[in-house]
């Protein structure tokens, strides 16, 4: 397949690009590697897709991958890389991604102690405990329903004190928490850091952020790095409630302190951030692609309406001292962002803001004044947020974030004036119409051969998604689409062999991932689309995005 770079001048366009952004746009994977520089960039024991050859066995250029797995939902083969010193007959069970100081015997010991979590649905066989048995035994590690969850997240202190479990009561998992703490301590005693363990098709992923240890157990298609990034989001969610300095001081005074006392009531924020199995399809569809691409979704608006919104915020907030950010959001999408000069906000911090608003129904009934730490902005202190919806007849939420504690009434008055101006200019109705719009309809664009796409503009960290339609409108099929996108994203950003283009022919669809200096594009096509058609369809999509970019993206960086 040739490079699908447009040949009619479109190659020079960068849809959604802007000279200055209000968002910090540092490449998330570079930033992640810098933050966790003690860890290897990729696991040494991980199942990877075959990247070395194409469908006909010919070599593929370093920046392209062509993969054909029609006839099989799973990829046709895999390559398993084993850590040094681990016999092949023991892999991948008990294999560790950083195990130079971890013996095979110790690996088998861990495998035995955690075998319940590593077993798949076959655990319902001989000797298993039926659902609900944990209520009698008090031990989740013998509860089939608990064990069969596809994902678990556990948080504990470095002293081994339970803090959080994604499913169930952490007090009934004392044995498991003890094993996790012992593993981390054992590896640290050898001046090493544990990253992941792979056993019986399950990934155990660790993120050590002293004084906390975060562990994920996953049977999903997410890579180790993607899971660690999600654990980082969870860690940031905790900091948004406590601040890093407060948490460190607390544990310095008492190493065995029960952090749940300070986090009481905020567990729902962590639950929602993780998008647990209990979340409905609406919530699931709002979150994962922004997380995957480390970007922010924008609510499409007529440019004049967005300009009026920004103008209303600027004119009523410019003279308020120490107001850092004004953020207007709806349905997990950004409508407008105005900032103090020289200050920027990180997409990870915006995700925490979206998560807070989505989880808190109380904000809809009254104006609120709440402390909020944005860890990427300043992990050591709180901003004070005035939070309120614009009006009863407009469910867009406005956050005014200041470093001052005593300006609630000042910000309340500013919000009232902003709403009045937007009502007079009919912007509230325009925002409501945009909120009720389900998304970009590919049929209306004239490219029905494309089922779904994701487009990220790198220069402003903004994401564009098309509407979810058949066959991906059901929860089960959406999860399948999500998994395919995450696998493509991991392949194209694999630090061991980064590529620019992946073309993948699957049984039920054709997939394309294309990364340039300006954007990332992930497209799902009808299964009948041929390679030569992909080029023209992608060009047509990029032309449309460029034509509509003023409505689809925020192309300016307004300040107070």
**DSSP states of 193-246:** ---EEEETTEEEEEEEETTEEEEEEE-SS--HHHHHHHHHHHHHHHHHHH-HHH
pLDDT at residue 14, as a whole number: 84
Please determine, for residue 100, whether its predicted confidence score (pLDDT) is greater than 90.
Answer: no
- Which pLDDT tens digit goes with each residue over 453-499? 999 999 999 999 999 999 998 889 999 999 999 999 999 998 788 78
Output phi, psi for 373, to 5 deg: -95, 125
Which DSSP symbol is given to 74?
S
Peptide bond into 451 cis (omega under 30): no
Of 18-22, 175-179, 535-539, give the lowest mean pLDDT range: 18-22
Tokens representing residue 479 in the block: 């999860």
Of the pLDDT bands very low, low, confident and very high (cuts 50, 70, 90), residue 129 is: very low
pLDDT of residue 79: 27
Minimal CA–CA distance to 336: which of 314, 367, 368? 314
3-state secondary structure of 528: coil
Element (H, E) at 326: strand 323-330
Q: Which are the contacts of 539, defined by CB distance < 8 A and separation ≥ 6?
A: 4, 6, 8, 10
Q: How far is Cα 113 from Cα 147, in angstroms, rounded to an integer?
A: 14
pTM for this prediction: 0.81
Identify the three-state secondary structure at position 390: strand
Q: Which of 100-104, 136-140, 186-190, 462-466 has the lowest mean pLDDT?
A: 100-104
From the CB of residue 412, how many other CB atoms can be counted at a distance below 10 Å? 14
Q: Which segments within 70-187 are labelled E, that is strand?
A: 79-80, 95-96, 151-157, 162-165
Question: How wide is the angle at C-alpha 113 spanned by C-alphas 111 and 118, nearest 5°?
Answer: 55
Nearest to 80 by CA among 65, 66, 70, 90: 90
342: left (phi over 0), alpha (psi -120 to 50) or beta: left
- Farthest CA pair distance, the chain: 73
Query: How far apart (Å, rounded) are the C-alpha atoms in residues 308 and 164?
Result: 44
CA distance 87 to 92: 10
Query: Under a CB-based contact definition with an 8 Å cutoff, are residues 2 and 538 in contact?
Result: no
More confident site: 47 or 196: 196
Q: According to the model, what pLDDT value does residue 78 have? A: 27
With left for phi above 0 and alpha for psi between -120 and 50, is residue 249 left, alpha or beta? alpha
83, pLDDT greater than 60: no
Structure-block tokens of residue 36: 């966790």
Which positions ≥6 away from 317 have C-beta within 8 Å?
A: 323, 326, 338, 400, 414, 418, 560
Strand partners, 327: 337, 399
d(CA 430, CA 307): 12
Report the alpha-carbon distance of residue 417 to residue 122 in Å, rounded: 61
Answer yes or no: is pLDDT of 33 > 70.
Answer: no
Task: Tell me what percent of the residues of the chain surpass a pLDDT of 70.
Answer: 75
Contact assessment for residue 394 and residue 328, using Cβ atoms and an 8 Å cutoff: no
Residue 552 has pLDDT above 50, yes or no: yes
Q: For residues 216 and 145, which has the higher predicted lDDT (pLDDT)?
A: 216
> Nearest 5 degrees, angle CA 396-CA 401-CA 406?
120
- Top pLDDT among 471 and 275 is at 471
| Predicted pLDDT of residue 141 | 76
Residue pair 200/166 in contact by the 8 Å Cβ criterion:
no
Residue 533 CB neighbours (<10 A): 14
Q: Distance between alpha carbon 274 and the CA centroid of its chain, in Å?
A: 9
pLDDT tier, 146 (very low <50, low <70, confident <90, very high otherwise): confident
Rg for the chain, CA atoms, rounded: 24
Contact 250, 259 (CB under 8 A): yes
Looking at per-residue pLDDT, the higher value among 302 and 103 belongs to: 302
Matching residue, tokens 């994962």: 288
Q: Please say whether the beta carbons of 65 and 491 come within 8 A.
A: yes
Task: Output the pLDDT for position 110.
Answer: 44
Give the integer Cα–Cα distance in Å for 24 and 153.
28
Average pLDDT, the chain: 81
Query: Which pLDDT value is given to residue 383?
Result: 96
Residue 359 DSSP SS3: helix
Q: How confident is the model at residue 136 (pLDDT cuts 50, 70, 90)?
A: very low
Model pLDDT, residue 27:
55
Check residue 353 and give its pLDDT: 96
Assigned token pair, 274: 């993780």
Query: Residue 211 — pLDDT band, cuts 50, 70, 90?
Result: very high
pLDDT band of residue 403 (cuts 50, 70, 90) is very high
pLDDT attached to residue 58: 32
Average pLDDT on 496-508 reads: 90
pLDDT above 90 covers a percentage of the chain that reads: 62
Could you tell me which residues come within 8 angstroms of residue 371 by beta carbon, excluding any fewer than 6 positions away? Answer: 382, 383, 384, 385
- DSSP one-letter string for 486-525: HHHHHHHT-TTS--SEEEEE-SS-EEEEEE-SSEEEEEEE
């Amino acid at each position: 397949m040739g490079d699908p770079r447009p040949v009619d001048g479109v190659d020079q366009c960068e849809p959604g690009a802007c000279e200055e952004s209000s968002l910090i746009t540092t490449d998330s994977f570079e930033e992640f590697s810098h933050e966790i520089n003690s860890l290897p960039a990729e696991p040494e024991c991980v199942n990877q897709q075959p990247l070395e050859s194409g469908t006909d066995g010919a070599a593929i250029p370093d920046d392209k991958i062509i993969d054909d797995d029609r006839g099989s939902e799973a990829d046709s083969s895999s390559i398993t890389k084993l850590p040094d010193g681990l016999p092949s007959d023991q892999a991948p069970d008990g294999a560790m991604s950083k195990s130079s100081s971890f013996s095979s015997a110790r690996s088998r010991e861990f495998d035995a102690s955690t075998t319940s979590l590593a077993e798949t649905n076959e655990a319902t066989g001989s000797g298993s405990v039926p659902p609900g048995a944990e209520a009698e035994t008090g031990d989740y590690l013998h509860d089939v329903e608990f064990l069969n969850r596809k994902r678990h997240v556990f948080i504990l202190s470095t002293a081994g004190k339970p803090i959080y479990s994604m499913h169930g009561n952490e007090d009934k998992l004392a044995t498991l928490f003890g094993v996790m703490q012992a593993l981390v301590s054992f590896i640290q005693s050898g001046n090493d850091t544990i990253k992941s363990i792979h056993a019986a098709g399950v990934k155990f992923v660790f993120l050590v952020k002293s004084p906390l240890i975060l562990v994920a157990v996953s049977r999903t298609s997410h890579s180790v790095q993607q899971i660690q990034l999600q654990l980082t989001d969870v860690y940031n969610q905790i900091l948004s409630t406590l601040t890093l300095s407060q948490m460190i001081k607390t544990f310095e005074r008492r190493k065995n302190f029960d952090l749940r006392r300070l986090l009481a009531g905020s567990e729902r924020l962590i639950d929602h951030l993780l998008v647990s199995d209990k979340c409905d399809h609406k919530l699931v569809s709002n979150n994962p692609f922004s997380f995957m691409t480390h970007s922010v979704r924008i609510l499409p608006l007529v440019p004049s309406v967005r300009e009026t919104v920004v103008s209303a915020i600027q004119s009523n907030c410019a003279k308020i001292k120490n107001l850092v950010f004004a953020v207007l959001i709806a349905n997990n999408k950004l409508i407008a962002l105005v900032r103090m000069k020289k200050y920027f906000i990180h997409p990870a911090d915006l995700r925490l803001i979206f998560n807070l608003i989505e989880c808190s129904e109380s904000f809809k009934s009254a104006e609120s004044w709440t402390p909020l730490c944005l860890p990427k902005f300043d992990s050591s202190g709180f901003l004070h947020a005035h939070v309120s919806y614009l009006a009863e007849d407009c469910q867009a939420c406005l956050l005014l974030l200041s470093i001052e504690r005593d300006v609630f009434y000042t910000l309340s008055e500013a919000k009232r004036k902003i709403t009045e101006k937007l009502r007079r200019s009919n912007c509230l109705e325009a925002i409501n119409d945009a909120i009720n719009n389900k998304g970009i309809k590919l049929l209306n664009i004239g490219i029905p051969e494309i089922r779904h796409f994701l487009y990220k503009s790198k220069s402003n960290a903004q994401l564009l998604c098309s509407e979810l339609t058949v066959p991906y409108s059901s929860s089960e099929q959406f999860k399948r689409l999500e998994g395919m996108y995450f696998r493509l994203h991991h392949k194209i950003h694999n630090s061991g062999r980064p590529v620019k283009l992946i073309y993948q022919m699957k049984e039920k669809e054709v997939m394309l991932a294309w990364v340039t200096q300006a954007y990332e594009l992930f497209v799902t096509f009808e299964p009948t689309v041929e390679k030569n058609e992909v080029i023209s369809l992608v060009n047509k999509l990029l032309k449309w995005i460029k034509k509509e970019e003023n409505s689809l993206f925020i192309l300016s960086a307004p300040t107070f």
